[in-house]
Structure 1
Amino acid sequence: MVRPSCARGQRSALGSYRRGAHSARGSAAERAATRGGAAGLGVLFTLETNVGPGNAVGRLVPGGGPGGATLRAWTLMTALDEIRGHEDPANGRRWQDVDWKRNFGGENWADRRRKAVAYEDRDPAVLVVGAAQAGLMVAARLSMLGVDTLAIDREARLGDSWRRRYHALTLHNETRVNHFPYMPFPRSWPVFIPKDMLANWFEIYAEAMELNVWTGTELRSADWDEAAKRWTVTLERADGTRRTMRPRHLVFCNGVSTVPKWPDLPGLADFRGTVRHSGQHGSGLEWKGRRALVLGTGTSGHDVAQDLAVSGAAEVSIVQNGPTLVVSLKEAQAPYALYDEEISFEDCDLIATASPYPIYARAHRQITAKNAEADRALLQGLERRGFELTSGPDGTGWQIMYQNRGGGYYFDAGCSQMIVDGKVGLIRFADIERFCAEGVRMKDGTVRPADLIVLATGYSGQKEAVRPILGDAIVDRIGPVWGFDEEGELQGMWRPTGQPGLWFLAGGLAQCRIFSKVLALQIKARELDLV
């Protein structure tokens, strides 16, 4: 089968696929490609395994011979696509359920959905904790594979975790990269999606995909029964009632940014104004005419500072404690240049995840260097103001920073230029002696007054979010979650953890789309006793 993806021109350090002569041999689609600076031939092909069909991405590079005509294999990535006999109905196969026919006097579709969601006479095989992008995507993947799945969310409405975030929030990567599985966003949507638009999509998606979701529901406890290979979980509904269930799998989708970090800052308890975490920030309009300090120079810190400044705050300063990677919003899209709205994003997902870590890191070093050159004027302006910059670990840029630590960078949506222009002040944390009743006392003896202090100081990881529920014994058995292991794979994400039946899925929308499939197939394989 010739896969029709990526035949149009796409240029990126992560990959350059151009229109031109390409041939099919057997099931292989071949096209010229450049990856991590190495030119060669990219090959997409299908394959068969003992359990089902798969896809593969190979890269061939010149390996000798006259004029370098001989090609040798450089990289190969294979991925299971489906489990034979349990195929995804979205792949051109509609359900053939005779019970959905007209049944006068009997149950109709709405009756069946109410019964499915109620779980009055059964327990789910999988309980998904958290029903934002990660939870909804993996619930959809599992449901399509016929795995009985219930997703729960503590919020009253799907999407409220996004609606409650600061008023001006908009996604910082483009819509074309962020599609949900099975249901791409409408082509009329803007390039960057506002938070409330995305939140509303969660509700649309859950309804259209017939997902079983309980909102206003919290997981209160979870205990693993080693003999039965099941969890015993206690759920608390919005009305205070409790339900005990016995799922075989728990999938935590509670986000990378889950538990706010509240640093112990000397003198902060003496401050007479308002102290908030950036996760609690709403609209800057309520602080019009007043003075604010924002601690932290990641994305949230910059966005909150900009919101306060443009909303009429009398004075806004941002406090920097360490170097920050800054890249313009335009240049930040470079890793996604492979994606195109005329190309199957499923195929682009395959290509984007096909690089071993050394090649992946090399590609991101190239991207980061090009970004810095394109943004030279902005970055030089920031340095003149005393802003400390970094290019990430070993110059690999923002994406690897995110995958290692979940932050530490900013896509400039305007705040960097405001810092350059002096519209947002800059304070080095090292110059602060302590906080005081009026604001902050500097080491030179001056006081910088403030009415509001916003702590844009990040979040603890997922393990700490689940510790109060699972307890120390289970959490300490899980192993590392997030950050790269020695093979360049994210630790503890969408793969087995040290605790049987316990899984994690988190990340940006593209990550969740790609790896929700990987996770769902692993769970389905276990349900079939293939693993």
Structure 2
Amino acid sequence: MLNVRQFVSSDAQNFIVITNHNNIYQYYLPNMSVFEGCNEISAPCEDKAFDKDIPQEKIYGSFRPDPENIKHHDINALAHAWLAEFNRALSTVKTNPDELDKFFMPHTVWKDHLGLTLDLRSFIGPQKIKDQLVKTFNKKVGKFEIDKLADHRNPTGVVLQTIHPEGADGKAPIEWITLYLKYKTDYGVGKGLIRLVSVHDETKATPIGLKALSVFTLLNEFTPVPELVGRNRPVGASHGENIERKTWLEKRFEEQDYKEGHQPMAVIVGGGQGGLTVAARLKSYGYNVLIVDANQRVGDNWRQRYKFLSLHDPFYYHKLPYIHMDTSPMYSSKDQFANFLECYARMLELNIWMNTTVNDATFDETTKTWEVKVTNNSTSDVKILKPKYLVFATGHSGEPNVPKFPNQDVFQGEIVHSSKHTSGANYAGKKALVIGACNSAHDIAQDFYEQGAKDVTMLQRSSTCVISSANGLSVITRDVYDKNGPEIDTADLLFQSNPLYLTNLLMQQQYRESSKMDAAMLEGLAKRGFKTNSGSGACGLFSLYYRRGSGYYIDVGCSKLIIEDKVHVKRSSVKRFLPRGVEFEDGSVIDDVDIVVLATGYSNMKETAQNLFGDKVADKLKPIWGLDEEGELKTIWRDSGHENFYYMGGNLALARYFSKRLALRIIAKEEGFD
């Protein structure tokens, strides 16, 4: 059942929200048509790419673009003059907020990561922006300055970015001036980014000048708690006379030997990239934290996955904080990356108890501390830890989703979830069925074929967004996460700075471009009956990752196998299992099946927490992942719903970026900065 609600906000933003179970579809009505079709929180997938340039009204609204202003003036002078006026207006925001109106478009979005609210927020439209600034600006953000050191490619800190050039027919370009920002407050240091567009009034009779299309503010550090890196790095050895001197190794043992009176500030459950990065961040600010992981070795969460898994994302995208391996291959194998994580933990001297299981955790409402029960899997020794904060970093995907099919118990072959698959070599000369059609399903189907399975079929139950690693990823990451991109912190600043509607518009164009480059592959898949889509709202791969965490495949070889019919495609659903095969809803049967792999994804991370900590904790936890009404990811790295409990997860790039945001959020609470 669809529930429809219509709202008119205080700033005359009229929109409809349609909810269907857990999905939210947000549609802006004509008086805010700039957002229409490009700000959906969970838009349906489109079969085809959006085959037009970004419509001018999506950027300029009811104004007219004024490219002549940019052509005939120095953009640095324009930017500095605009920012000086903007700073003056901001300095009086509490007494005269309406002075800011001349700087904003009706659809301007101020996106903020911990700068204004110590949360991840997007304030849509001038009125919501002003309301928030009146509450917090002078306290949270000071005067903006242009940051000339942010991007080595743009030493003035100001750059003109052209998305669509001026048309041959005189059609105005889609372009904006980007300003890299820095700012200071009484207690912190931040970065930011503003995108400015040049406009006329609606009749094109009166030049208006520059207006902000979007503003992004990012808290980077609390001044009283500096990050102990670079010039602030620890001294290390203590020179001179030191009675009862202890070695570095002795100090490390003491640091990790938690007893009464010596407890970690935070216990991090899970030692994958999420747990390691947030532990590294907190350690770099001087806090003692402990990672607890049930695996034998750091990196086992990658090491134990299927044999031929490799990272699908290029090196420039998946760097981790503090240590950059410039000799790393562009696409690491899972074992290479597992070994890197193990080295990463050692080099950063992270406190980790491996081979240790968390059995229970309870929160004391009086002392505001956790009591975490852990067991050493080898010795069965039980210890009680009493941290103030609990960070749940078991992976945002949660537990394996293992569906049950009719008559499954009569099947004489083997059924495994993709998380338990090791190598197709065990099934050489045999017949394999892979249920699912996203990354893992493709990798495993390719593995079966390459290892000599006599017949491999992929069961596709719904369409999949497919991009090639060679073409699709190169377009998505171009000039940000590639060899021509800026330093990684600036790359993250650029990537995170776009509000949802602008992200969607740009991703529509990226997928449009990459789908043309991938046309032969997509056509070949269609001929084999493999159904593809263009992502949520035709916005490509990332639109699905942020909304669902799945639904896509980055092609590293399996698409060619499908096109050549070396991996067969079946489009239907399972009706029931047979003793030696599977019958489908369309009435067809695959006989003599030896192995069925369920590449059926994972459940919500909240379910993992519930299984581990019980209902008392889980009942307070909010749903996780997907986009909220402002276009920010829900719950993860934010308020979980339970005091002093935080979720940590995401792919490698998100782990890198949001580990710092979560660390700063915990520090704010610990030090009373909130």
8 Å CA contact 1:378, 1:416 repeated in 2: yes
Q: Is the 8 A contact 1:100 1:109 kept in 2?
A: no
Question: Counterpart of 1:30 in structure 2: which amino acid?
Answer: V
> Per-residue displacement from partner, 1:189-213 (whole Å, max 9, x unpaired)?
1110111111111111111111111
Asked if residue 234 in structure 1 is aligned to residue 370 in structure 2, the reply is: no
1:50 aligns with 2:186: yes
| Distance in 2 between residues matched to 1:100 and 1:287, nearest whole Å | 62
Q: Distance in 2 between matches of 1:80 and 1:463?
A: 28
Alpha-carbon distance, 1:414 to partner:
1.1
Aligned to 2:70: none
Contact 1:441 1:448 in 2 (8 A): no
Question: How big is each residue's C-alpha offset from its partner over 1:416-455, in whole Å with a ceiling of 9 and x where there is no partner?
Answer: 1111111011112248564443444674464432111110
Distance in 1 between the 2:451 and 2:220 partners?
49
Match of 1:32 in 2: 160
**Cα distance 1:69–1:147, how it changes in 2: closer, same or farther (>3 A)?**
same
Q: Which residue does the alignment assign to 1:338?
A: 480
Say if 2:592 is the partner of 1:449: yes
Provide the rounded CA distance (Å) in 2 between the counterparts of 1:102 and 1:199: 42
Q: Does 1:248 align with 2:388?
A: yes
Match of 2:343 in 1: 204
Question: How do 1:402-481 residues align onto structure 2 when only pairs under 5 Å count?
Answer: 402-430=545-573, 434-440=577-583, 443-444=586-587, 446-481=589-624
CA distance, structure 2, for counterparts of residue 177 and residue 220 of structure 1? 35
Describe the SS at the equivalent of 1:87.
coil
Is 1:140 equivalent to 2:268 in the alignment?
Answer: no
Distance in 1 (alpha carbons) for counterparts of 2:552 and 2:400:
18
Matches within 5 A, 1:41-440: 41-64=177-200, 70-96=209-235, 99=238, 103=242, 106-121=245-260, 122-185=262-325, 187-238=326-377, 239-333=379-473, 334-335=476-477, 337-341=479-483, 343-430=486-573, 434-440=577-583
Q: Cα–Cα, structure 1 residues 357 and 438, in superposed 2: closer, same or farther, change >3 Å?
A: closer
Gaps of 5+ in 1: 10-26
Aligned partners of 2:297 and 2:642: how far apart in 1?
A: 31
Match of 1:23 in 2: none
Question: Does the 8 Å CA contact 1:51/1:83 hold for their aligned counterparts?
Answer: yes
Q: 8 Å contact 2:574–2:584 — kept in the other structure?
A: no
Aligned-residue identity in percent: 32
Instruction: Compute the displacement of 1:102 (Å).
Output: 7.6
SS in 1 for 2:196: strand
Range that drifts further, 447-456 or 331-340: 331-340
- Provide the residue aligned with 1:500 in structure 2: 643
Amino acid of the residue matched to residue 550 of structure 2?
Answer: G
- Tell me which moved more, 389-398 or 60-69: 60-69
Q: Which residue of 1 aligns with 2:66?
A: none
- Distance of 2:241 and 2:287 partners within structure 1: 25
1:98–1:416 CA distance, 2 compared to 1 (3 A): closer
Which residue is 1:24 aligned to?
A: none
Give secondary structure in 2 for the equivalent of 1:196. helix
- Over 3 Å counting, the alpha-carbon distance change for 1:171 and 1:500 in structure 2 is same
C-alpha change, 1:102 and 1:210, in structure 2 (3 Å) is farther
1:158 partner letter: V
Q: Is the 8 A contact 2:268 2:275 kept in 1?
A: yes
Distance in structure 1 (CA, Å) of the matches to 2:653 and 2:478: 10
Tell me, what secondary structure is at the counterpart of 1:57? Answer: strand
Q: Give me the whole-angstrom Cα distance separating, in 1, the residues matched to 2:591 and 2:241.
A: 72
1:130 is displaced (CA, Å) by 0.5
Mapped pair 1:520 → 2:659: no
- Please tell me the residue identity of whatever aligns with 1:193: S
CA distance in structure 1 between the partners assigned to 2:440 and 2:634 by the alignment = 25
TM-score by length of 2: 0.73
Tell me which amino acid in the other structure corresponds to 2:569. Answer: L
Render the CA deviation track for 1:115-148: whole Å, top value 9, x for unaligned.
1122234111111110111110000000111121
Deviations 1:351-398 (A, max 9, x none): 110011111111111111222111111111111111111111111111
Q: Is the 8 A contact 1:433 1:443 kept in 2?
A: no
Aligned CA RMSD, in angstroms, stands at 2.2
Give secondary structure in 1 for the equivalent of 2:157.
strand
Q: What CA distance in whole angstroms lies between the structure 1 residues aligned with 2:151 and 2:298?
A: 34
Distance 1:404 1:446, change over 3 A: closer
Paired residues of 1:223 and 1:231 also in contact (CA < 8 A): yes
1:286-313, Cα deviation, whole Å (9 max, x unpaired): 1111110000001000100000001100
Distance of 2:663 and 2:240 partners within structure 1:
29
Tell me: CA distance 1:156–1:100, structure 2 relative to 1, closer, same or farther (3 Å): farther
**CA radius of gyration, larger in:** 2
Instruction: Provide the rounded CA distance (Å) in 2 between the counterparts of 1:35 and 1:286.
Output: 50
1:256 Cα offset (Å): 2.2
| Larger mean Cα displacement after TM superposition, 68-77 or 499-508 | 68-77
Aligned-residue offset at 1:4: 3.3
Does the residue aligned with 2:537 lie in a helix, a strand or coil?
A: helix
Are 1:510 and 2:653 an aligned pair? yes
Kept in 2, the 8 Å contact 1:442–1:448? The answer is no
Question: For residues 526 and 477 of structure 1, what CA distance do their matches in structure 2 show?
Answer: 19
- Render the CA deviation track for 1:82-129: whole Å, top value 9, x for unaligned: 111211021432214674768586201111111112223411111111
Q: Secondary structure at the match of 1:175?
A: coil
Q: Deviations over 1:7-45 (max 9, x none)?
A: 549xxxxxxxxxxxxxxxxx9711122469941111112
Distance 1:409 1:106, change over 3 A: same
Retained in 1: the 8 A contact 2:405–2:575?
no
Partners of 2:637 and 2:658 within 8 A in 1: yes
Kept in 1, the 8 Å contact 2:582–2:589? The answer is: no
Tell me, what secondary structure is at the counterpart of 1:460?
coil
Distance in 1, Cα, partners of 2:348 & 2:545:
30
Higher mean alpha-carbon deviation, 479-488 vs 324-333, is at 324-333
> Counterpart of 1:329 in structure 2: which amino acid?
S
- What is the one-letter code of the residue matched to 2:481? Y
With the length of structure 1 as denominator, give the TM-score of the two structures.
Answer: 0.92
Match of 2:23 in 1: none
Contact 1:28 1:44 in 2 (8 A): no
SS in 1 for 2:449: helix
Q: Which residue of 2 aligns with 1:22?
A: none
Q: Would the aligned equivalents of 2:410 and 2:577 in 1 still touch at CA under 8 Å?
A: no
> Secondary structure at the residue paired with 1:259?
coil
- Please say if 1:4 is aligned against 2:143: no
Query: Is the Cα contact below 8 Å between 1:82 and 1:521 reproduced in 2?
Result: yes
